[in-house]
A and B are shown apart, each in its own frame.
Chain A
Amino acid sequence: MPEEYTPPASPTASFYDLSEDDEEYSTITHTSTGRGVKLLYTKSKVYVHPTPSAKDNIPGFIALMQQKPPTSVAADPSDPVNPSNLLLAWLPESAIGTAYDTYVKVDLLDTGTPPKQTYLVPPPPISSGSSPLGSYSFSIPVSQIYSLLVRPPSLGWWWGSIVINSRGGDSFPALFFHDSECASTIAQSKARTKKNFDPFGESGELFWGGDEVLRWLKRFVKVERSQVEKTVYLIDPSKDDLLSFGQRPVIDSTAGKNRDAAAANASGSGDFAAAVMDPFTKVIKSARWSLLEQFAKVTQFSRQTATNMLDNPNLPPQVRKLLKNPDVVSLQDDFDSARLYLARWAMGIAEQSERERAKIVWKREDMMEMEDSAVGEFEILDIEAGNIRGDGDRRRVVDLKEWNSWWNKSTGRLEITADEVKERIFHGGCEPAVRKEAWLFLLEVYPWDSTKDERAALMNSRRDEYVRLKGKWWDDVSRREGEGEAGEYWRDQKNRIEKDVHRTDRNIPIFAGEDTPHPDPDSQYSTIGTNVHLEQMKDMLLTYNEYNTTLGYVQGMSDLLAPIYAVFQDDAVAFWAFVGFMERMERNFLRDQSGMRAQLVTLDQLVQLMDPVLWKHLEKAESTNFFFFFRMILVWYKREFEWDDVLRLWEGLWTNYLSGQFHLFVALAVLERHRAVIMDHLQHFDEVLKYINELSGTIELNSTLIRAEALFYKFQRTIEASDRRHGFPSPGTARPMVRLTHRRTDSSTATTSSTTATANKGKAVDKGDGPEITDQLREMLSRDYVRVEKKPEDEEGKGKTPARE
């Protein structure tokens, strides 16, 4: 419980006389007591949850109030309000008494600024250390608030909450915002949606009651969101606070001096990297795995463990603070999915430090030091990744100058090998200006050995061909009128395409507008409006049906087309690039889903081979169907990464530089990155699915690519080692290899002694005969991608000749 604190100003001077009239504004007075405070803002239906049972929840008001400044200070109306005269308070409904109507009124005022009229209410009790049990009311001067722990509603947290931490190091009980009951929040969120179609709050997340509290405070004090722990907002933070919360170090002269001093004190060269790291990253680095492990303990075991953990001297102060918070400690009592919260939180920190570290080349000794036997194997991977990362020049972006230097000035023929180009793009990616050309090679519209003139001629014929294909439906009036079976099919396809195009990447400027009236009055979107790019997208997808007459439009295809169209912004050129992309993606969209299944099975085998311990865990969690990678594989991580990252990822994958199925190594890299969390916290299919789905928007692309590359090399070595053992490939072995022998024979018996059993099993695979390598796994060494096999009669309709009718 928070300790008492002493209000800074003379308390007798800090209340308004309830009978005293403000000169400018009429005053609502309260007569129950003689003194009052100005109620600036309040929000209703903010609850304290004293026990896990909803029965015990206590509804109340959170409020920002203004005390009267001490009389000795000359009242200057232009003076900003001194934060020590502001009180942030929570009062249970039951304690408000006759002021209730005033609270309700102010709650519903919904003005950006404090009310013009002065609403006076009785002063709240100061702090609550000694209040009788059951009354959780408290108030604290804003100047005494150190930070707010703000958790918007999300998975498992249907009520968003705020915890107030005082400068004295105390936490008040968590306040839960029951937005669905709060009239003002409902009204505000509706207004927001109406006004600018943006139901999202300040943080870009869903608007909720807590956003309002932050907004109130920002009117009077500086509120800084922590860079490391996104749920922490610091109130009027000092520089030190900012630094320890992982704000990018401010480069000013004093900071520079400190660093120099630190560097000078450092004895070995290994310490130098440490010296330039901010203190927080440093702590995380030195405590890296043990910290994660301890988080696991907090969530799996008890309050007691958490208390013990507080004795750990390595614990960063903000983590300590968080753990002290009774709300967090009792998480596991409250919700089944609570452990996910801490897990994700811990992962967020790790991810952040990964970003910070991006430029530091790891020293092998550092790595060894950090290593923990439990995760040893994959730490070694990090060393490998570290070495790859150190290869700085290869990861430079290919700019126009470099690109142009590869081509003969007069003939336009490539003067280095195609492999060299692919290697550069695989590692560095393309600058936007390069994409318009490079992608046409990567997507096999242009042959690598063509001349400039050949390409110009080729593109001309492609343009004609596009116009011809498009004309097939465009000029077919009876089909467009929906006549007959063909017409019905065409209409249905058009509806599907239209519905998805209107839901595809509308946040990207070229797809955002609705400025053009819809060309088709019968369309489901005729009232909404469209834009020229959306219309082009629809036409291209309809035209693709004329090119590939067997597939039909499938959801996800619009996701694949959008980036290509956006880069070229020329329908004919983009169409053929899309055709090239679909060559390799077609199997994802087959009617029987065989292509998706095949990839999920391959991924299953890959994980089995590369990380049998993790695989065992996933098997126990009934997740070895790897369905949780379905979305990532179907549209190549389109929904997981931001737009720019998608472009970078795809062009790398298109090179086939290491493998025609490198996207599965990316999946493995994502999985390995989250291995610890998955192993420690996720026990069921739904938990795994939710966790992986929610990685969307949080994955750091560069380190993922590096990790995927390291994993590929490791995979290659594993297979080579196995082949050596088997004297494979022996000449004339046409027979497919036997599958890994894993199937579910022992799953029912393996529950109790699981950890040791699994560990032994993992090793057993590597000893003796070693793993058997399936055909699917071996195929991943190939730089060819997997095409859908066409029946001979289809074949002639493919490629560069017109589609069959």
Chain B
Amino acid sequence: MFRIIAKRQLAEDIIEYTIKAPDVTRHHRPGQFCIIRVASHGERIPLSIADINTEAGTITVVVQIIGHTTQELARLGAGDTILDVVGPLGHPTDIGTPERAVFVGGGVGVPAGNLIIREMKQAGAEVLAIIGFRTRELIIYEEKIRAQADELIVTTDDGSYGYHGLVTEPLQQRLEAGSEYDVVVAVGPVVMMRAVAEVTRPYGIHTIASLNPIMVDGTGMCGACRVLVGGQTKFACVDGPEFDAHQVDFDQLLNRLRIYREQEQQAAQAGPHLCRLEQQISEIQ
């Protein structure tokens, strides 16, 4: 059993949880993830780790409430427990020792940047962070990222805040203006990561994407998480989750991500109204 220490609603349907999981903090490095199971009949879902507090023995995760499992999680608050947290899983981010680094984050991929940028800074890099959201209301982790990065650009698709456009546009402009970077790390929706890879490809900049395929065990046992990288099948949970973005077959990843979409939607529809209602009731209380 793992206790929820704190819960914070960051935006609509985006919640930050701080969970006591001392063993996960022990050897955790930026870029690694964990898998949680909320309740006994629930699924195992992979989550990025947004922050870690070794002394308190806590991890922080940011969850978008989209499916049945995350809806169930959303009903829990500080003091409640979840059944399983296992990690850290996967390889840490391998950024080398860059002088100039870029973090590109989109949506719920942004919080992962918190630790990745910290790592870049520790490696001695000057860091540009570009974080993008659909609209102003959905902006999360802006202050945390600002506090770490040397420069921050926030974009919104609808122009309601910051730069009006996609995260790739400021990146493209910098590159065209002659800025040089040693590494770019992209975490976010697949289409965003694919677009970032296409922008950096002509410049030959080492670009890392943190992939988010469907997972089950997270220990390399089932192959649900397989992705095609450089023409070879890799298991994202043990070989990744971060890969050379210029080698990743993003189209295949997108195709595989829709495998359970229909079933997920059915499951989600079975519950959300009740969940929202219960959530509101518990908030009133």
Is B truly associated with A?
no
